[in-house]
Structures are given as C-alpha cells and as structure tokens.
Structure 1
Amino acid sequence: MNVLFFGITKDIVGGSEISISDVAKPLNVAELKKRLIDSYPEFSKLNSLAVAVNSEYADDSVILTGNEEIAIIPPVSGG
C-alpha cells in the first residue's frame, strides 16, 4: 500500500510517499488516519484531512485491502 502526501502533510511526514506492508496495513481509512496521527502527532493539528483511495475521495468507513494507492490531501485555503 502506497500513501502519497501533498502540501503540509508532506512536510509533516518528511517526504512525499511511504509504503505500508501488508502485515501492518490498516483495515480502513479511519484506522489509517489514527496511525498517521500516532506516528506523526502534527496531523492532529490539521482541522480537516481528505483521503483519496485509488483517485476517489473516501470516507472513514472505506475498507482497505492493501493494494490501494492512497493520497492524503491537506486542508486547502483560498479566497
């Protein structure tokens, strides 16, 4: 499972991508978010965080099988 990071999330992780092995893979998007916060506490300071699974936005209940490409999309500001 590849997890891609953009914007501020890339700065938090210190890179644009991490791989998660099948042994350690989260069961769903909610568990992935929890693991990211546990591993990188700065994630808890973000007021929102979008997750895309295989290029489609996903809510916390989406089940992960381990073959997905996941994008972590930070909050976007604009005017």
Structure 2
Amino acid sequence: MRIQVFAVLKDFFKKEFELSANISNIADLRRYLSLENPNAAMVLNRCRFAVQDEFVTDQYPLTGDEHIVVIPPSSGG
C-alpha cells in the first residue's frame, strides 16, 4: 500500500512511502504507524484516513493495493 501524509506528519514520516506490512484495516494501520514513530501517536489518533480519495472509518478493510492519505486535523481562518 502507498501511504501519503501531510502537514505535521511530514516531521515524522516521509511525505509518501510504500508499506508492505500485513495490515488488515485502518485501525491496524494507525497502530502500526504509532508504533513505528511513537512521537507521532498523538497526532495519528486525531487524523482522518482516506482511501482512493474517500474518507473511511477505522474498520475499513485493507487489501494492500490501496493509496491511503493520512490527514491531520487543521485549523485556520
């Protein structure tokens, strides 16, 4: 699966990277990324995940062929 991150997450991960771990759903991916970089865990817990340009829930099943976008919370005016 191809993972793409934005904003503050680029301080913890490459902007875009491939992941070949055995991950079954978004919740597993969130846990995996948090374990890979514990400093990012607080941000990851508040992020939204999108697969193929659609926001998905933590229960969304993954097959390994997806393009996943991790979007941290943002604010602005």
TM-score above 0.5: yes
Structure-1 residue corresponding to 2:27: 30
2:49 counterpart (51, 55, 58): 51
| Unmatched runs of 5 consecutive residues or more in structure 1 | none
Q: Which moved more, 1:42-51 or 1:68-77?
A: 42-51
Amino acid at match of 1:58: V
* Structure 2: tracts of 5 or more residues without a match: none
- RMSD of aligned residue pairs (Cα, Å): 1.2
TM-score norm. by structure 2 comes to 0.90
Q: Name the counterpart of 1:60.
A: 58
C-alpha separation between the residues in 1 aligned to 2:73 and 2:40? 11
Displacement of 1:45 after TM fit? 2.2
1:16 aligns with 2:25: no
**Deviations for 1:34-68, whole angstroms, at most 9, x for unmatched residues?**
00000011222226111001110011000001110
